[in-house]
Structure formats: C-alpha cells, structure tokens
Homo-oligomer: A and B are copies of this chain.
Amino acid sequence: MRPSGRAPDELRQISFQRHYTRHAEGSVLVCFGDTKVICTATVDERLPPWLKSSNQGWVTAEYGMLPRSTGSRMPREASRGKQSGRTMEIQRLIGRALRAAVDLEALGQRQVTVDCDVIQADGGTRTAAISGGWVALCDAVRGLRKKGLIKRDPLHGMLAAVSVGIFDGRPVLDLDYPEDSSAETDMNVVMNDAGHFIEVQGTAEGHAFRRDELDALLALAEKGIGEIIAAQRAVLAG
C-alpha cells in the first residue's frame, strides 16, 4: 500500500491555475498534490550574446525553492552566494525539456525564460515544474501570436513530465515525498503528446534495476503523462 492510499498507477490531484500573477506573459500555479510551483514565462526581445548572430530564439529555465517550502528550512541560495548542484541540474533539465518541443526558428529572435519557484514541496517538484512551465510557455507564445509577432506556431504539440519509481518493491506513479525518500529506483520521464520520449532519467537508489522493471516504469509514465496532458489541454481551452 502507498502511504497516500493511492493505487500504483494513480496520479495525485493535478491542477493548473493560469494567470496566477499579473506581470508575466505566462503565469501558472501548478499543483501535483501538495507540491506547488509558480511557473512564469517572460518574453525578452533581446537574445543572449552567443545567439545574436543566429537566426533563432531561445528558451531557458531557472528553478528555485522558497527556503521553507520544505520540512526543514534550507539556506537561501541568494544568501549563500551560489546555486546548489541540485538546483543547477534541475533547471538545466527543465530548459532542455521545454526547448525540445519548441521550433526555435519559428519562435524568432527572442528569448523566453521560464522561472519555476517551488512554494511548497512534497516530491516531484521538477516534473511539476516542467508540466506547469509548459502551460506558462503556451500562454506566452499565445500572447506573441495575438500581437502578430510570431507567424508560425513554434510549439510542437504538448509536453508533460511525471516521476515513477519502485517503492516497497512495486512500480508506482507520481511519487510524493514519503515515497520518494525511500524509493529504490526513481525515474523522471518527459514525453510529448505523440507518446514519444523527450527525456528519461532513471537512477538506482537502493539496488540496480532490471530491464523488466524499467519497462514497467515507462508504461506507468506513459499513462500518467497522458492524463497530465489532458489536464493541460483542458485548462488551456478554458
């Protein structure tokens, strides 16, 4: 039994609240159960220097956690003077995943920065951030299209992410913190709406995992991502 009483292939309650704050071109509060992340997408008409002479745009991401988003307070990275390796790793993953579903030439010579700030953490912050960041990015791109600044849609379908893992000997979907902290294997999967993979990151925490376990985890991820994409579509249609 899972601590939350969920079935092995059951997601937590997923929600996306668009227009959560008022300044950003896209602003979404995404909740995967008790994990809550504010995702904003900012359009900047200036490109980073290393892209200036190219013919394309760029999408990048930054990630942070409020110091007391977690059970015990974490030192503020701004005050420590540097981002942790974990933060770096996560924000690189978010940016890479989002870019993989964007036609950067169609985006035009501009940069979109997706900021993902965790206000409450209960496991799966990076997959919530990718899924919510995608909705914020959709809103930012819609705004550019409404203004006529972009002609061709730069977004390839839809994109979402979920975590899967082996908890207490069996594969489960969308781990919360109590599961995540004792899982033997943890995998983050990013997929698009065609059912193809954008990113697969599996890590053995306790014991090396077998090929059949990997297969079971990927099947769970595919199911969960399908449901998350349905939720994204519903809120974007709203």
Q: How long is the Cα–Cα vector from A62 to B91 in the complex, in angstroms?
A: 20
Is the pair A21, B68 in contact by a Cβ cutoff of 8 Å? yes
Give the contacts of A166-224 with B (CB-CB under 8 A).
Answer: 187, 191-192, 194-205, 207-211, 214, 218
Given A85-B88, A214-B200: A73 touches B42 (CB 8 Å cut-off): yes
Name the residue of chain B whose CB is nearest to the CB of A92.
Answer: B85
Given A23-B71, A82-B78, A85-B89: A196 touches B218 (CB 8 Å cut-off): no
Number of residues on chain A facing chain B (CB within 8 A): 66
Is A152 close to B, CB under 8 A? Answer: no
Query: Which of A1-9, A48-56, A114-122 forms part of the interface with chain B?
Result: A114-122
> What are 27 pairs between A and B in contact, CB < 8 Å?
A21-B69, A21-B119, A22-B120, A23-B68, A23-B70, A27-B68, A42-B73, A62-B67, A64-B76, A67-B115, A78-B82, A79-B83, A82-B82, A85-B91, A86-B92, A88-B89, A100-B203, A100-B204, A191-B208, A195-B211, A196-B210, A197-B204, A197-B211, A198-B204, A198-B208, A199-B202, A200-B202
